[in-house]
Structure 1
Amino acid sequence: MSSKTLYGFHAVTVRLKTAPESIDEIHLDATRRDARMRSFAERAREAGVRVVESNDEQLSRLAASPRHQGVVARVQPLRPRHSLDEVMEEVEAAGISPLLLALDGVTDPHNLGACLRVADGAGAHAVIAPKDHAVGLNATVAKVASGAAETVPYLMVTNLARSLAEMKERGLHIIGTSDDAERTIYDLDLRGPVALVLGAEGKGLRQITRKTCDELVSIPMAGAVESLNVSVAAGVCLYEVLRQRR
Structure 2
Amino acid sequence: MSDSPWKSRGPKGPPRGDRPVHREPRPTREVREQRPVHREEAPSEEHQHAREHRDSELRLYGVNAVKAAFHRRPESLRKLYLVQDRIPQLQPMLRWCVAHRVGYRVVEDEGDLRRLTGSEHHEGVVADMLREPQQTLATWLQHLHAGPACALWLDGVGNPHNVGAILRSAAHFGVSAILLPKHSNLALSGAAARVAEGGAEAVPFVRLGREDNSLAQLRGAGFALAATVVRDGKTLFEAALPQRLVYVIGAEGEGMSSSLAELCDLRVSIPGSGKVESLNVAAATAVLLAEWARRT
Aligned-pair distance for 1:103? 1.2
Higher Cα radius of gyration? 2
1:73 aligns with one of 127, 137, 140:
127
Q: Conserved in 2, the CA contact under 8 Å of 1:44 and 1:51?
A: no
**Residue in structure 2 matched with residue 137 of structure 1 by the alignment:** 188
Q: TM-score, normalised by structure 2?
A: 0.74
Contact 1:11 1:145 in 2 (8 A): yes
- Aligned match for 1:43, one of 92, 97, 103: 92
Q: Which residue of 1 aligns with 2:200?
A: 149
Please say if residues 130 and 156 of structure 1, whose CA atoms lie closer than 8 Å, have aligned partners that are also in contact: yes
Spell out, residue by residue over 1:166-216, the C-alpha distance to the aligned partner (whole angstroms, 9 max, x if none).
312322111111122241111123252111111123211102211111111
Instruction: Tell me the equivalent position of 1:53.
Output: 106
Q: Distance in 2 between matches of 1:133 and 1:19?
A: 26
2:141 pairs with 1:88: yes
Query: How far did 1:22 drift?
Result: 1.2
150-159 vs 135-144, which deviates more? 150-159
Tell me, which stretches of 5 or more residues in structure 1 are unaligned? none
Q: Could you say what secondary structure the match of 1:79 adopts? A: coil
- Which 10-residue stretch deviates more, 164-173 or 221-230? 164-173
Number of residue pairs matched by the alignment: 237
Match of 2:256 among 184, 205, 209: 205
Question: Paired residue for 2:280?
Answer: 229
SS of the residue 1:40 aligns to: coil
- RMSD of the alignment, in Å? 2.0
Residue of 219, 223, 227 corresponding to 1:168: 219
Tell me the residue number matched to 2:77. 23
Q: How far, CA to CA, are the matches of 2:247 and 2:56 in structure 1?
A: 34
Summarize the Cα distance change of 1:2–1:12 in structure 2 as closer, same or farther, 3 Å threshold: same
Q: 1:79 to 1:40 in 2, by over 3 A?
A: farther
| Contact 2:79/2:104, CA 8 A, preserved across alignment | yes
Alignment of 1:128 onto 2:179: yes
TM-score scaled by length of structure 1 = 0.88
Unpaired runs of 5+ residues, structure 2, are: 1-54
Map Cα deviations across residues 97-143 of structure 1 (whole Å, 9 max, x no partner). 22111111112111111111111111110011224455321111111
- Greater shift, 138-147 or 12-21, is seen at 138-147
Change (3 A) 1:218 1:90: same
Q: 2:266 aligns to what?
A: 215
SS in structure 2 opposite 1:228?
coil
How far is the alpha carbon of 1:2 from its aligned partner? Answer: 4.4
Structure-1 separation of matches of 2:87 and 2:245:
43
CA 1:160–1:109 in structure 2 vs 1: closer, same or farther (change >3 Å)?
Answer: farther
2-structure distance, mates of 1:159, 1:107: 20
1:48-68 Cα offsets, whole Å, 9 max, x none, are 454411121211121122210
